[in-house]
Chain A
Amino acid sequence: MKINKNLAISENGFCLNPVTGESFSINPIGAEIIQLFKAGMTSEKVVKELCTSYNIDEATMERDLYDFVNVLKHHQLIQADEKN
């Protein structure tokens, strides 16, 4: 997963897409996921990381991550050529 490299995200989860000028408020888990992707983690590793941190089953985590990634895609926060 590749988050747009210029995406700016603050500690409070305020996120600006500098290409479109759109801004978003992202909750703490969403912000954590973005930071993990920005650090270069794959989706699989993010799922594992969050399952451990939040004591959640893998299937639920995968489904929630899939939904969140779709929201990111919708708002063009993920680079267009990335399929995963």
Chain B
Amino acid sequence: MKRTKITVGVTGINPIDSPGPGIPVIRGIRDSVEMESRIIGLSYESLDPGIYMHELVDKTYQLPYPSAGADRLLDRLEYIQSKEHLDVIIPNLDAELYSFIKLEPQLKQMGIHMCLPTLFQFEERHKFNLDEFGKKYDIPVPKSKTIYAPEEVYGLEKDFMYPVVIKGKFYDAGIAHNPEQAKTYFNKISAKWGLPIIVQQFVMGNEYNVVGLGDGKGNTIAAVPMRKQFITDKGKAWAGISIDEKILLDMTRKFVKATKWKGGFELELMKDANGKYFLLEINPRIPAWVYLAVGCGQNIPEALVKLALGKKVEPYTDYAIGKMFVRYSYDMIVDISEFEKITTLGEL
């Protein structure tokens, strides 16, 4: 088979203790038998490990932080495009998605394709909208409330039973057993990720996740459920196993059909002692454990690239059950000259 040559820009190339999904996304694309890819890493920090993983990333450019705004990002992408002629960009980080969604028309004019949720889809599934989202689409969600000031934690007993989960807008969460702990988490998380803070009823049980891909027309192109087997102190899965749970697949298809979700996503769920699943979060991008799906026979990154390019993609109907991923860390030896280049020139 003649492989299509393609250049793909990938963000989130930081496989650290709270890993970005970029490297597993790249591994999926590299595994494609249909595409011969040149991979352009798009990084935010000079020590993002992906910058130095030359067997996976052909060249890396630094991007301005999302807080710098969409205009700065567009300027930078225009420069990168003049050098690299990107066909597709896959943004993988929550904090940058708003800017990329906003820039989608301009990037398309430049020849860069993406497969992203619409701004409405992106906003609607926010943690602070989850209550309404659950009601609208008839999906069980834990009771939640958005708060803006630390003093508000003192009124929570009216609506919640401790423990509660205190969550940041984009990242971070803590389980609070009393108002004092809730206030501490409020201050810690809001200082890092801003407001609002989301208070969610704690659900005791086991964590399950689904990685999926929607085509924007209501079709689920891919979906693989996973049970976390080992969780780090940051709440990240360090090992997991693909499972055969029809309820989760039905929930996923229902979510995609109802929202006409476009792009990759992750559903985070908790199964309580009665066997009922609660949707805790919808991440509007591919998760870092996506390579498990590739290993199970559903190459989601490859399918996403094809969707971005407007190609017809047949939905995956099967996957291997009982496949596990086990993550590991690894020390690379890097010459200072490489660090110097990325730090001073912003590219390597």
Contact = CB atoms under 8 A, between A and B. Distances in A.
Nearest to A21: B227
Interface residues of A, number: 10
Binding site secondary structure of chain B = strand
A20 B322 contact: no
A11 to B, nearest CB: 16
Contact of A19 (B229, B240, B244): B244
Interface in B202-228: 206, 208, 226-227
A16 interface: yes
B48 to A, nearest CB: 31
A8 B227 contact: no
A84 B321 CA distance: 28
Contact of B244 (A6, A22, A23, A76): A6
Between A6, A16, A21, the greatest number of chain B beta carbons within 10 A of the residue's beta carbon is seen for: A21
Contacts of A8: 322
A28 interface: no
B241 interface: yes
Contacts of A40: none
A18 B206 CA distance: 15
Interface in B224-272: 226-227, 229, 240-245, 271
A22 B243 CA distance: 9
B269 to A, nearest CB: 13
A8 B245 CA distance: 15
A19 B244 CA distance: 5
A32 to B, nearest CB: 22
A8 B241 CA distance: 14
Interface of B: 206, 208, 226-227, 229, 240-245, 271, 275, 321-322
Interface of A: 6, 8, 16, 18-23, 76
